[in-house]
């Protein structure tokens, strides 16, 4: 018997493939197995990303409220909360990407520790460095709420993170 997660994925997969096949028919193109597999992998990455976003945002808000209630780092409370949210949510993403998205084929090998380090490096570039700069711009320059800034950051970080994870962090070892 399949678990609820597997059943949910099968339903999502069926809907995604229906629309993907429809688009390819409209474009008069053939949907290859490789294109189908790549697109489904991106969808899985997106699902992990949505859960990561929720985890990150919840941790961010909790940290922000905790820091503010303690009266610490009032000038940079949102940056500290961003850092804590980053560290914990990347660990969450790594676990699910390794288990669900970038799986290792039977007989293939991948160093989990190496992939974890590469994941933190890749997310550090887009997730911490880029997001921190953008948070400063949103909050200090455009006066956008520190509660909404992380949502704006997703437009840049998600596609870049997928490519870096697929072709570097979770790359199969030769």
The whole-model pTM stands at: 0.76
Place of tokens 């437009």: 155
118 pLDDT tier (thresholds 50, 70, 90): very high
Can you tell me the distance from the alpha carbon of 170 to that of 115, in angstroms, rounded to the nearest whole number?
A: 6
- Name residues whose C-beta falls within 8 Å of residue 5's C-beta, 6 or more positions apart in sequence: none
Query: Tens digits of per-residue pLDDT, 98-110?
Result: 999 999 888 788 8
Q: What is the CA radius of gyration of the chain?
A: 19
78 pLDDT tier (thresholds 50, 70, 90): confident
| DSSP H or E stretch at residue 34 | helix 33-70
Can you tell me the distance from the alpha carbon of 53 to that of 47, in angstroms, rounded to the nearest whole number?
A: 10
Give pairs for 21-27: CB < 8 Å, separation 24+. Answer: none
The alpha carbon of 73 is separated from its chain's Cα centroid by a whole number of angstroms, namely: 28
Structure-token pair, residue 163: 């490519």
């Amino acid at each position: 018997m399949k678990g609820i997660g597997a059943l949910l994925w099968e339903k999502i997969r069926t809907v995604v493939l229906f629309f993907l096949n429809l688009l390819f028919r409209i474009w008069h193109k053939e949907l290859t197995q490789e294109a189908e597999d790549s697109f489904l992998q991106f969808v899985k990455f997106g699902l992990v990303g949505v859960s990561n976003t929720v985890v990150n945002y919840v941790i961010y808000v909790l940290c922000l409220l905790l820091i503010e209630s303690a009266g610490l780092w009032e000038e940079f409370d949102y940056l500290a909360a961003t850092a804590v949210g980053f560290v914990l949510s990347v660990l969450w993403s790594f676990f699910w990407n390794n288990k669900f998205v970038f799986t290792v084929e039977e007989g293939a090998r991948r160093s989990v520790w190496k992939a974890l380090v590469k994941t933190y490096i890749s997310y550090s570039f887009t997730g911490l460095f880029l997001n921190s700069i953008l948070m400063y711009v949103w909050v200090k320059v455009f006066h956008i709420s520190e509660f909404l800034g992380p949502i704006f950051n997703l437009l840049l970080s998600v596609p870049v993170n997928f490519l870096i994870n697929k072709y570097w962090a979770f790359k199969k070892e030769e």
